[in-house]
Amino acid sequence: MKLIVVFACALLFAQGDKTDDLEEWKEEIKQTVEQCRAEIGATEDDVASLKGPNPTPTEKGKCFAACMMTKRGYLDESGKFNKDKIRTEMAKLKPLDEGRFEEHLKIVETCFDTVEEGKDKCDTAARLSHCIFKGHHGIE
């Protein structure tokens, strides 16, 4: 779950009142998590399998990441990153955390440039999630 929150925080958006928007965003993420867990049949262990410096994600964990990214519009049905959508969402993050915005953006952009497509949409999503997780935790 922490991995999804880390990824989502990198893509967090803000408009108007920051507190209200943050709460609205948290609720949207919570609903998306619940929907994806139900659709995929992912357990807490499946979600947890995506975390850490050397994750060993389960297939359901990988597909959970793909579901989250697809529902948020970051990954299309064919498994391609929607870079424009992610960048648009990232731009909305700037007012919430101007001090770290460039850092967040650099991590995501680096992952776009370095993450290779996986064998399927689920594998690709897991690879992107892991790259972003490593970037935010300073893991080489």
**Average pLDDT of the residues in 57-70:** 95
Strand, helix or coil for residue 81: strand
Q: Is the pLDDT of residue 52 over 60?
A: yes
Cα Dmax for the chain: 41
Confidence class of residue 80 from pLDDT cuts 50, 70 and 90?
Answer: confident
Q: Could you tell me the residue ranges of all domains in the chain?
A: 2-137
Q: What is this structure's pTM? A: 0.78
More confident site: 89 or 111: 111
Q: CB-based burial of residue 77 (10 Å sphere; 0-12 exposed, 13-18 middle, 19+ buried)?
A: exposed
Average pLDDT, the chain: 82
In 3-state terms, what secondary structure has residue 96? Answer: coil
Let me know how many helices (H) and strands (E) the chain has, helices first.
7, 0
Neighbours of 58 (CB within 10 A): 18
pLDDT-based confidence at residue 13 (cuts at 50, 70, 90): very low
- Classify domain 2-137 at the CATH superfamily level: Pheromone/general odorant binding protein domain (1.10.238.20)
Average of per-residue pLDDT across 96-110: 84
Please report the pLDDT score of residue 11 as a whole number: 52
75 SS3 class: strand
Which pLDDT score is estimated for 25? 73
Do residues 130 and 50 make contact, with C-beta atoms less than 8 angstroms apart? Answer: yes
Average pLDDT over residues 125-131: 92
**pLDDT-derived band of residue 99, with 50, 70 and 90 as boundaries?**
confident
Higher pLDDT, 41 or 19: 41
Mean pLDDT throughout 19-29?
A: 75
Q: What pLDDT does 110 receive?
A: 92
- C-alpha 130/C-alpha 3 separation (Å) is 8
